[in-house]
Amino acid sequence: MTDTAAAGTILRLEKIVKTFPGVRALDGVDFELRRGEVHALMGENGAGKSTLMKVLAGMYQPDGGRIHIDGLRCVLPTPIAAKEQGVILVHQELSLAEEMTVAENIFLGELPRSRFGFVDWKVLNRRVGDILETLNVDFGPRTKVNRLSIAKKQMVEIARALTHDAKVVVFDEPTASLTDAEKTVLFDIIGDLQERGVGIVYISHRMEEIFRISDRISILRDGSYRGTLVTAETDEDEVTRAMIGRSLDLSRTSDARVAPGEVRLAVRDLSCGKLFRDVSFELRAGEVLGFYGLIGAGRTEIAETLFGLRRPSAGTVHLDGEAVRIGSPAEAIARGLSLVPESRKEQGLVLGMNCRDNITLPQIDRMTSGPFISGAREVEIYDKYQARLEIKAPSWRTMVKNLSGGNQQKIVIGKWLSMAPRVLIVDEPTRGIDVGSKSEIHNLIRELAASGLAVIVISSEMPEVLRVSDRIAAMHEGRLVTVFERDVVTEDDLIQAISGIGEHAA
């Protein structure tokens, strides 16, 4: 390393080690950040990106290694200590106190004080007002956070980065819920920070963003450092290979496509308040219909309405030609509907229960002999789906909370397949699981369709919808914009449809 490069270095992490009980989350990770640089940090879920950043932000104490900021060795025992050193972490949403105002949230933990511990509201509101102005947002310092949309909450989170004379700002998946306009503002802000000589660490899964704004890319895999690439000299394939150790095959060579059968599910003008309006589509046996759109576009809400969790304000649903009104999940299940929900930990699983009990939960009434549950019949079902889905669990007695994300997701899928549904709805089937399990689940969805099941897949990942769907319904702000045929649609078509561009142009 030359002297000039060293002078430009604002942050250097050396051989950082962090272990949790049973896991070595970080195994001697190096990382170097220069002034005015956007340095992307990439890796699969569980590769250790978030852990590394939490060490940097003083939230975790490393078990080994050194942190140098501005050439000085630092110990960061608390988040406040990190902030004082000029390290700011912008969390992925949800690190806000909902009942409090925007201003209080932005200065949480370090509200300006006047005498006797009183909050200096004047200073607070003025400073926040200034920050919000640079962010070009339409809410004020005194707005309560719980009245903001997810995207605006994200902007509040970003505003926190601007309160300090930051040396290093870490953005952890900042664009997950932002619209394009908001993204543009964010990238402008990042540009400003860069000009001021701030070092930016940018964590994202979205390649196009990484290649648009970053200068260098560092890669983590399984808790260890896998090298740094200069963005201008690399391509997506090289980055992917570094991340997962092989190239990703996005083609659909193995798919056996069957001719779609009769219409299983017909939805006409379905609406639910302000969540979604006038949604109509048909789903045939043996086909996969993908639902693509931004978070908040109403896709999950449609699934929940079909499943009896929300009451539609208008519209009809026909199952196998018969008009149905589904008032509860129990009724939906009785009619042959299955829903693999969006959040497996919150909606899909009872984490403190074992694998078998989770799989048989929806049909536990059928598992009885006499007044009592027949454990043997339950185990039979578990064994069947454990084998079919290749669930890696030591035994059915294992608590699902002890399984990896991919195996947890397979438990949820197994639970719903064991109900022998006629229509299967899968919401974000691969969120937060590793690449290997991901492609297994994709193949499974194709197989299920080939066996005659009617499947709806809701996803925010374009490669995923393109990979598994026969047709793709694009949604924008509660409306179904268009249903595309998989074979003719382009990525541009989809992006335009979900950002509402197509609508205005038409």
Partner 1 sequence: MTKSGPLGWLIRNPIWVFVAIIFVFFSLSTDRFFDIANFRNILVQTSTIGLIALGMTLVMINGNIDLSVGATLALAASVTVDAMGWAVFADWGNWQILPAVLLRLLTGVAIGALNGFIVWKTGVDAFIVTLGAMLGIRGLVFVYTQEQSFFATNFTYSDFDYSSVLGVPTLAIVFLVFTVATHILLSRTVHGSNTYAVGDNREAAVNAGIRVGPHMVVNFVIVGFFAALAGITLSTQMGAATPNLGREFELWVITAVVLGGTKLTGGAGSIIGTFGGVLAIGMLRNGMNLIGVPAFYVLLVLGTILIFVLFLDKQLNRQGDEEIRL
Partner 2 sequence: MSRVETETAASGKPKEADESAPGPDTNRTLVQILSSQGILIAFGLFMLGFGLFSERFLSLENMESVLRSSAIIGVMALGVTVVVISGNLDLSVGSMLSFGTVMVVDLHDKIGAAPGIAVMMAAVLALGCVNGFLVGILRLNSLIVTLGMLSAIQGLTLIYSGGKNVDIDPSSQDTTWFKVFGRGDIAGLDMPIILFGLLAVILHCIVAYTAFGRRVYAVGGNPTAAVFSGIRRGRVVFSTYVISSFCVGVAAIILGSRVMGSQNNVGQGYELLVLAGVILGGTSLLGGSGSIFETVIGVLILGFIQNGLLLLSYPYYTQWIVTWFVIILAVWLDIAGKRGRLFSPIA
- Residues forming contacts to partner 1 in the complex (CB under 8 A) are 57-59, 78-80, 83, 89, 91, 95-100, 104-105, 108-111, 113, 116-119, 144, 147, 272-275, 301, 304, 309-311, 313, 328
In the bound complex, what is the minimum distance in angstroms from residue 227's beta carbon to partner 1? 30
Q: How far apart, in whole angstroms, are the C-alpha atoms of residue 469 and residue 419?
A: 23
Q: Which is nearer to partner 2, 200 or 302 (CB)?
A: 302
- Comparing CB distances to partner 2, the nearer of 228 and 347 is 347
List the one residue out of 9, 403, 24, 384 whose CA is nearest residue 168.
Answer: 9
Tell me the two tokens of residue 423: 């229509």
Nearer to partner 1, 74 or 462 (CB): 74
Q: Provide, rounded to whole angstroms, the least separation between the CB of residue 185 and partner 1.
A: 23
In angstroms, give the least distance from the CB of 285 to partner 2.
23
Spell out a b/e string for 241-263, using b for 16 or more CB atoms within 10 Å of the CB, else e: ebbbeeeeeeeeeebeeeebeeb
CB of 58 to partner 1, least distance (A): 8
Binding partner of 354, given partner 2, partner 1, none, CB within 5-8 angstroms per partner class: partner 2
Interaction partner, residue 310 (partner 2, partner 1, none; CB < 5-8 Å by kind): partner 1
Judged by the rule CB under 8 A, the positions of this chain that interact with partner 2 are 20-23, 25, 45-46, 51, 78, 307, 309, 328-330, 332-333, 339, 341, 346-354, 357, 361-362, 364-365, 367-368, 371-373, 375-376, 392-395, 397-399, 401-405, 407, 415, 434
Strand partners, 39: 201, 216
Q: Quick one: 72 or 376, whose CB is closer to partner 2? A: 376
Residue 314 CA to residue 292 CA, distance in Å, equals: 23
How many Cα neighbours within 13 Å face the side chain of 458?
24
- CA dist 272 and 195 (Å) reads 46
For the sheet with 314-319, list strands across it. Answer: 276-284, 263-272, 314-319, 322-324
Distance (Å, whole) CA 16 – CA 53:
11
Residue closer to partner 2 (CB basis): 307 or 484: 307
Minimum CB distance to partner 2 smaller for 139 or for 382: 382
Residue 375 contact, options partner 1, partner 2, none, Cβ 5-8 Å cut-off depending on partner type: partner 2
Cα–Cα nearest to 180, from 391, 496, 505, 493 = 496
What is the closest distance, in whole angstroms, from the C-beta atom of residue 314 to partner 1 in the complex? 11
CB of 328 to partner 1, least distance (A): 8
Nearer to partner 2, 7 or 334 (CB): 334
Alpha helix stretches (DSSP H) within 312-403: 329-334, 355-360, 375-389
Cβ(67)–Cβ(74) below 8 Å: yes
DSSP category for residue 460: S
